[in-house]
Amino acid sequence: MHDPLHIGGIELTSRLFIGTGKYSRNTLIPEVIASSGSQVITVALRRVDPQGGAENIMNHIPGHMTLLPNTSGARSAEEAVRIARLARAAGLGNWVKIEVINDQKYLLPDNLETIRATEILAAEGFVVLPYMSPDLSAALRLRDAGAAAVMPLGAPIGTNRGLRTKELVRILIQEVNLPIIVDAGIGKPSEAAEAMEMGAAAVLLNTAIATARNPLVMAEAFREAISAGRKAYLAGLGPVEEVAFASSPLTGFLN
């Protein structure tokens, strides 16, 4: 089934985006990429060090991957814009995941500053994928600001708590005419499948794979779950009923 996802002029056949943090060793990253089938990987600019040798994360990312630098550490739109410009100048391309976070306990994104950064960077030709708290008004403003996709959180970053914002994400899928990529909090393949069954365009996750006992098998499990969830969405899920309906009615059988 040919069912590509188009973002920023790039055709993607995988709807699983992955990250680069929390692995026990950087050399696991290319193996996880292979197991997951992912084509997009996010990386924090502060981990890109041309003089870092084996510690430079870029040495472990295959050249065929689409890089999604993120503005991790930014606390304002101005800081996010500066990081994005540095990433592009460093040769990391023109995709950027906007992260603007002031809350240091729950690490929830600042939607207002995220909208401001999106406006500036989209006008400069960046392919902007903003990470945001799922709020319809903010998502529509991000769309109007030039975002290429909207990335609402499923649960706070790194918690593996699942799709706790399900009903809010569902509203964005229905009302925002952009790809909706569920980002953060997904902990199980079944939760990723659920997001895809709802109509999410993709899922971005890191902790669930990186902290698994076997990251390579977990990456494969997420790959299969996302594929299954997407197929279920395209097939059209059957209606949910309040009472039972027999699959094979007995009407007339005994007469």
Q: Which residues are designated catalytic?
A: 97
> Measuring CA to CA, which residue among 248, 247, 107, 126 is closest to residue 184?
107
> Read out DSSP for 196-253?
HHHT-SEEEESHHHHTSSSHHHHHHHHHHHHHHHHHHHHH-PPPP-SS---SS--TTT
Distance CA 72, CA 39 (A): 21
Please report how many Cα atoms fall inside a 13 Å half-sphere around the Cα of residue 194, on the Cβ side. 15
- Cβ partners under 8 Å of residue 132, min gap 6: 109, 111, 114, 138, 139, 142, 150, 151, 152, 153
- Cβ partners under 8 Å of residue 72, min gap 6: 44, 45, 46, 99
For 141, the token pair is 């403003």
The three-point CA angle 165-169-171 to 5° equals 125
For 214, the token pair is 């076997």
Helix residue ranges per DSSP H, the chain: 28-36, 77-89, 111-123, 136-145, 166-175, 189-198, 207-210, 215-235
